[in-house]
Amino acid sequence: MEMQSMIVVLTVLLVVGTGADYVRPLPRKTLHFPWSPKHSSHPQQVHISLAGDKHMRITWITIDKSSPSFVEYGTSPQSYNFIAEGESTSYSYFLYKSGKIHHTVIGPLEDDTVYFYRCGGNGPEFQFKTPPSQFPVTFAVAGDLGQTGWTKSTIDHIEQCKYDVYVLPGDLSYADYMQRKWDTFGELVQPLASTRPWMVTQGNHEKEEIPILKDGFVSYNSRWKMPFEESGSSSNLYYSFEVAGVHVVMLGSYTDYDEYSDQYSWLKADLSKVDRERTPWLVVVFHVPWYNSNYAHQGEGDDMTASMEPLLYAAGVDVVFAGHVHAYERSGRVYNGKTDTCGPIHITIGDGGNREGLAHEYLEPQPEWSIFREASFGHGELRIVNSTHAFWSWHRNDDDEPIRSDQVWITSLVGSRCLAERSHE
């Protein structure tokens, strides 16, 4: 290609998918972490996750294999009225040997309360706040994080917002078989992940499968244990949880989802138990988007859509979050490829800041269900105000400032004809 026509093509690519007045920042480098030796029983990579009603799972890693798995905790600093004993695991991946990975469930805990805690009787005191039991409740959302300069920018912005739970629709560390990078990711996110529950589901970068030699998700399942047992699931790759008046279903894009699969049966059973009086909002999260007008990963979610979209529609799901595509896109309510006032809103938010960069190219013309799309890094905030209204905002990492670039009020399907009609079917 001649230089002139190449410049024209590049210019067109840069303009597509964003406002002409917005100059998109360049990708940022992968962060490098200096080696900081710690005492072998010092708790590292501390993160917390919801573990059933009024309980929290505390996860940390020690180099010392004899380090105990108990957590001391209480509502005043340095004063631990409670202690809980947990479990531990470890794994090896060729030459790499993980530290001792501790998982300890604590509770019952008071709602909307700050707790102080210490892991294994060692190291510094951490603190977290439990989510409220009633509205309002706020979720921070960003997928495809990685560990670059933009990741840092995204998590700094999430730290600035007032949120109760962080939801990550897959692709965490981008370790991609380099197991040490799971450790550096754990350290990078600890300041946030030790203070608010991180609820994650798997992406393709968590798989790390090597046929015959290594099963998939060994590292992910060992390090990021989610409340699957607490929600009646047999796999860490799909589960559900409830917070305030919201039922959140976390699905797996990289495990079986056809109608004969365990995930499908579990999803059907889980949705049938949802009580919209108790949890008026129904949210579903997975990695590969079902509604995506970006060229990147086009059509990859089609099989899962064909299998599971009717279940979500019948249950009256309000919002679906996905990642995978490194950009942001929000649909209107949609079902079966067409605008449908009884379908969920689909939000693709794989824009956390990973090293692979942004997905710039969009299908033209923009499909009628697609409301807003932009290839920038950022994060989202879903503030559920009451049983019927929520405010969604997307914040672009613009020159390191979290600029609110898209926002919309969302009305839940509770009380709508959509659910009323279905209950009579």
On the 0-12 / 13-18 / 19+ scale of CB atoms within 10 A, 388 is middle
Q: Do 289 and 324 touch, CB atoms closer than 8 A? A: yes
Q: Is 206 in the site for Fe ion (CB under 5 A)?
A: no
Residue 143 CB, nearest distance to Fe ion (Å)? 8
Report the C-alpha dihedral over residues 231, 277, 380, 107, rounded to 10 degrees. Answer: -40
Tell me how far, at minimum, the Cβ of 204 lies from Fe ion, in Å. Answer: 4
Closest distance to Fe ion from the beta carbon of 323 (Å): 6
Q: Please confirm, yes or no, whether 157 is among the known catalytic residues.
A: no
φ, ψ of residue 16 to 5 degrees: the values are -60, 135
Cis amide prior to 365 (ω within 30 degrees):
yes
**Cβ distance to Fe ion smaller for residue 80 or 321:** 321
- Classify 379 as helix, strand or coil: strand
H or E stretch covering 181: helix 180-193
Nearer to Fe ion, 375 or 413 (CB): 375
Which residue among 47, 102, 247, 297 is the active-site one? 297
- Tell me the C-alpha distance between 58 and 69, whole Å: 10
**Minimal distance in Å, beta carbon 381 to Fe ion?**
22
Q: Contact, 170 vs 143, CB < 8 A?
A: yes
Binder to Fe ion among 72, 171, 206, 406 (CB under 5 A)?
171
Minimum distance, C-beta of residue 253 to Fe ion, in the bound complex (Å): 9
SS3 category, 204: helix
Rounded Cα distance, 28 and 292, in Å: 25
**E strands, 286-353, where?**
319-322, 328-335, 338-339, 345-349
Distance CA 139, CA 141 (A): 6
Using the minimum distance from each CB to Fe ion, give the nearer residue, 57 or 324. 324
CA-to-CA dists, residue 162 to 136, 138, 166, 288, 309, angstroms:
11, 7, 11, 27, 32
Among 59, 138, 173, 204, binds Fe ion (CB under 5 A): 204
Task: Show the site string, 116-155: x = touches Fe ion by CB under 5 A, - = not.
Answer: ----------------------------------------
351 binds Fe ion (CB under 5 A): no
Q: How many residues does the chain have?
A: 425
Stretch that binds Fe ion, among 149-157, 166-174, 236-244, 272-280 (CB under 5 A): 166-174
CB 228 within 8 A of CB 235: yes
**Should residue 353 be labelled a site residue for Fe ion when binding is judged by CB under 5 A?**
no
Quick check: 289 binds Fe ion (CB under 5 A)?
no
With contacts defined by CB under 5 A, how many residues of the chain interact with Fe ion?
4
CB-nearer residue toward Fe ion: 143 or 343: 143
Q: Which of 257, 256, 274, 277 is nearest to 317 (CA)?
A: 274
Q: Report the residue number whose CB is nearest to Fe ion.
A: 324
Tell me which residues in 296-335 interact with Fe ion (CB under 5 A): 324
Residue 203 interacting with Fe ion (CB under 5 A)? yes
Nearer to Fe ion, 120 or 380 (CB): 380
CB of 354 to Fe ion, least distance (A): 9
Least distance between Fe ion and beta carbon 254 (Å): 9
Please, which residue, 144 or 164, has the CB nearer to Fe ion? 144
Tell me which residues are annotated as active site: 297
- Which residues of the chain form contacts with Fe ion (CB under 5 A)? 171, 203-204, 324
